[in-house]
Amino acid sequence: MTGALADRRGAWAFALGCVCVTIGVLMHIPMFLMGRDMHFMLAGMAMGWDMILGMALIVGGALIAAYGLLPRNLAAQRAASAGITVAAPEDAQLGPAHWGLMAVLVVALVIDTMKPAALGFTIDGMKHEYMVDQSVASLVPFFALVGTVTGSILWGVLADIYGRKATILLSAVMFVGTSICGAMPSLYWNIGMCFMMGAAAGGMLPVTYALLAEMMPSKHRGWSLVLVGGLGAGGGYLAASGAATYLVPILSWRVLWLLNLPTGLALVLLGVFIPESAKFLLARGRAAEARKVMAKFGAVVRETEAPAAASGRPHGALKGMHLYGKLTALSITALSWGFVNFGLLLWLPAHLRDKGYALEVANGLLAKSALIAIPMAFACALIYSLWSTKWSLVSAIGILALGLLGVLRLELFGGGDPVLPFALLIVGINGIIAIVLPYTAESFPLRVRGRATGWVAACTKGGGVIAQGLSITRLVPPIGIVAGAVVVPVAAALILVAWFGRETRGGDLRLLDDALDEPLV
């Protein structure tokens, strides 16, 4: 047997797990339909035996699917993988396989990103249905973000054990299970399911980046990572805001969770078009399959070595204040991004409604803003590849700062069209998240690259945890004050990245380890 399910504990177990999870979700649909005469208000309703059994099927099904995907003889696999490096040649051209992989992973990231993006459109509905204030409702995004931090750690380990493709499949199965949030009569069940959703979503971006980094030719790696990440983030927010605009008025906020069922199953089916990691296949002893994958993507096997002399300019010294200055700059950027993305943008729909906007108008406003942000993903990839990696990140930070100033102006003086400042916010955060992790990975020598990238990735979630911590403790100031306060660290990030950042376009990343004693340029 070949493919993702070859040499696993059992393809039958994965299929059985998927069926159990799907049946478990479907057993919750009657509860949702019971509320159709009350605009799907289910708060306080008793949970029937079918829902309890359905939850047991979901948990059991996820465990069975995980068992089915588990490779055999893990010790030998891990030992073999330590000496294998797979990379595409520096001068390889992009072919249909590369473009196809990018398209599939964009769709996967859209499905992945729309889950946390939907949080901002569900909080207001939860507050009104469960009759709780913002501090209690904020427990939902808070635990979702804690779940993403947990998932970022968990999936990084699982990807080495299960392989990239199988990890994405397992994440999709968990997505399907979290759709029962849409039928939960209790807020606290929603909190638990949102933690599971965050855990499933947390590792998708790093796993996707790792798969792309192995498959894409080195000279195209940077812009392809930026493009896939930007389109995935922007498309996910657009999908969530579009669903909120057109479906929430008809089926209530609960439909945003129920969409996890069809989108999660779509992600499972999408796995057919995602290749398995060649390194994973070689470590499993499946050399023939690995050769087919490498031939398709132009990849080669080689030993890791630092070149004595290679083309490309060094990126500058990376020790002492320069290393820590750059890490500080990127950390502040990531924290600010997390605070805006998982704080300010989650508060805006409810804030707009409190200011007198109809729910449909508020959600539609954010949908229009997200639509404006989609073309910017292409712009980010273009300027990252053709202009400057450093200054593209600085530009994205500057756009975010302009958006915050625009929100501040609306709050202080009123009037004006709110689409532009909100569009600038979304363009800025999409540009930053698309660029900051690839740029971090290209900015540090190998001996600290993993730790630096992992730290910056954690900071993107940490900013959101701080924001939701303020909500839980009821310390969130008015939106105008929030926008004005966040402008300060964003401006600091802009200055620090401009000062400590180094251009990485066109450079060989291996030269970073040889450039530790070079003067800054």
Output the pLDDT for position 375: 77
pLDDT of residue 241: 82
What is the predicted pLDDT for the residue at 317? 41
pLDDT along the chain (521 residues), means of 10: 64 92 94 87 87 93 91 64 59 81 87 78 85 85 83 73 80 88 87 83 70 75 81 82 86 91 89 77 75 76 48 45 83 92 77 69 66 74 84 92 90 74 82 84 67 77 86 84 91 93 67 44 34
Burial group, residue 122, by CB count within 10 angstroms (0-12, 13-18, 19+): buried
Output the pTM of the full model. 0.75
List the beta strands (DSSP E) in 40-98.
85-87
In tens, the pLDDT along 153-186 reads: 777 677 767 777 888 888 889 889 989 988 888 8
User: Can you count the helices (H) and strands (E) in the chain?
Assistant: 24, 2
pLDDT at 5: 65
| DSSP states along 250-271 | HH-TTHHHHTHHHHHHHHHHHG
Q: Which residues have CB under 8 Å from 173's CB, separation 6+?
A: 17, 18, 21, 61, 62, 65, 264, 268
Decide: 212 and 225 in contact? Cβ < 8 Å: yes
**What pLDDT is stored for residue 1 in this prediction?**
44
The pLDDT value given to residue 464: 85
In the chain, the amino acid numbered 66 is A
User: Closest Cα partner for 230 from 392, 346, 441?
Assistant: 392
pLDDT at 64: 95
Tokens of 296: 């398709």
Q: Distance between CA 343 and CA 225 in Å, rounded?
A: 25
